[in-house]
Amino acid sequence: MGEPVPGAVELSDVGVRVVGRTLLAGVDWRVEYGEHWVVLGPNGAGKTTLLSLAAAVRHPTEGAVTVLGQRLGRVDLRELRRHIGLVAASQRLVDEELLEEEQATAHTVVLTGHTGTSVPLWDKYGPAEHERAHLLLADLGCKDLADRLFRVCSQGERARIRVARALMADPVILLLDEPFAGLDLPAREDLITAVENLAETRPALTTITVTHHLEEVPATTTHALLVRDARIQASGPVAEILTGENLSECFGRPLRVDHVDGRWSARALRV
């Protein structure tokens, strides 16, 4: 018998503890290449902690985390992170302010994703990189923003530019931590459409999206994971997991879940 084939992300009996507090406990989770996961759960449940393990930015206190076949703790995390795109919309890009001061355009911001730097390293970008940044902006539905100053772009435009930037390094895994936070309805829908298009045009890409709202779950989502009180409450194929019963238990109140045209919604049950 050969060695089992590693998944894109594998957590085995993982715990994360800080002094006096358990952030995650007993987590088993396996994400296969090409799957699209959504992670849901109440505030403080441990979603971002879980994503930070998959992003290879923190180590578990116990158990094993393997990302792209590399066991955390045994590999150079910086090298591993080159293959992982991370977008946290609620946080500003590292030194985004610097890019604003430098009068960076949307195109320049995307280019910096190639070098993983907070300022452009112009001698590292040839015609191929310039063209790729344009194509990625087009993929994200912001072709016309290329020459616009990033600092004047709207929240929704910035959200899509950040995803284009994360894709510039051609990551194997794309992690989106609350990418829809703070967006108005049209901006949210534009970003959801862009994420759905990515899933269709890049079948090999693996994505994990953390969100608070069922309405934000892209129709291309294949799997869902529910986190509650530092533990996995349910995980598996999206249609099996996003049920009224599971969501009610996860969020601690009776909820009705609807699934229409591939999109999800939830509301409190009136008694």
Ligand X SMILES: Nc1ncnc2c1ncn2[C@@H]1O[C@H](COP(=O)(O)OP(=O)(O)OP(=O)(O)O)[C@@H](O)[C@H]1O
Footprint of ligand X (CB under 6 A)? 18, 21, 23, 41, 43-49
CB of 91 to ligand X, least distance (A): 11
Both tokens of residue 140?
Answer: 């994200």
- Contact (CB, 8 A) for 226 and 245: no
Closest approach, Cβ 204 to ligand X, in A, equals 27
Quick one: 21 or 74, whose CB is closer to ligand X? 21
Residue 86 or 99 with smaller CB distance to ligand X: 86
- Torsion angle, alpha carbons of 242, 248, 254, 260, to 10: -10
User: C-beta of 60: minimal distance to ligand X in Å?
Assistant: 13
- Beta carbon nearer to ligand X, 36 or 47: 47
- Inter-residue long-range contacts of 151-157, CB under 8 Å, 24+ positions, other chains counted: 151/99, 151/100, 151/103, 151/104, 153/106, 154/187, 155/182, 155/183, 155/184, 155/187, 156/183, 156/184, 156/186, 156/187, 156/188, 156/190, 156/191, 157/106, 157/187
Of 47 and 158, CB closest to ligand X? 47
Minimum gap (Å) between residue 212 Cβ and ligand X: 6
